[in-house]
Structures are given as C-alpha cells and as structure tokens.
C-alpha cells in the first residue's frame, strides 16, 4: 500500500519538475519524496497505536521512484507517438 500511494507522489513530483523546475536534478525530487516518507514515519512515533518502520520508509522511497519513472516513461511514449503521427 505504501509503494502505491507514494507512486502517486512520485508522479506528482515528476510533473512539478517537468513543468516548474525542468533544469533541477531528478534526484532532488526523489529525495523530497523519500524525506516525506521519513517524516510520515517519524510522525507515527507520536500517534498511539502506530509505530514507525524502516521497511515502510523503504517502500515509500521505492514507490516515489517508481511513480517518478512511470510518469517520465509515459511522457517519452507520448512524445514518440506524437512524432510518429506528425501532430
């Protein structure tokens, strides 16, 4: 579940980079997603009945990276399709 939810964040971070900061390094946006996962787990330490987990942080970071990569790949596919059709 963590990876799936953070994949949405990763895609949103890719969009932010592509549209607002195209010259910024991709690793910066991936790090932001991972740090958000760390902060989420840290917050859980203060919620009764919840515990932070390093495995969840890893799943969050992986999901962020997969969402970022999927969004980038979708953009490449769309550009190839557009260049083939001449539109």
Query: Considering only CA atoms, which of 63, 77, 79, 82 is closest in space to residue 12?
Result: 63
Query: Considering only CA atoms, which of 70, 66, 76, 73 is closest in space to residue 30?
Result: 66
pLDDT above 90 covers a percentage of the chain that reads 86
Q: What's the CA gap between 72 and 39, in Å, rounded?
A: 25
Torsional class of 49: left (φ above 0), alpha (ψ -120 to 50), beta (otherwise): left
pLDDT tens for residues 4-14? 999 999 999 99
The pLDDT score that the predictor gives to residue 84 is: 77
pLDDT tens for residues 46-76? 999 999 999 999 999 999 999 999 999 999 9
The pLDDT score that the predictor gives to residue 86 is: 66
Query: What mean pLDDT is predicted for residues 20-45?
Result: 96
Domain ranges of the chain: 2-85
- Measuring CA to CA, how many Å separate 31 from each of 22, 35, 39, 41, 53? 16, 6, 12, 15, 18
């Amino acid at each position: 579940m963590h990876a799936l939810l953070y994949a949405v964040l990763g895609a949103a971070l890719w969009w932010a980079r592509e549209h607002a900061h195209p010259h910024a390094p991709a690793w910066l946006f991936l790090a932001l997603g991972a740090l958000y996962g760390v902060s989420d787990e840290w917050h859980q330490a203060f919620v009764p009945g919840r515990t932070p987990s390093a495995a969840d942080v890893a799943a969050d970071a992986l999901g962020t990276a997969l969402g970022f990569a999927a969004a980038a790949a979708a953009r490449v596919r769309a550009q190839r399709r557009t260049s083939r059709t001449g539109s």
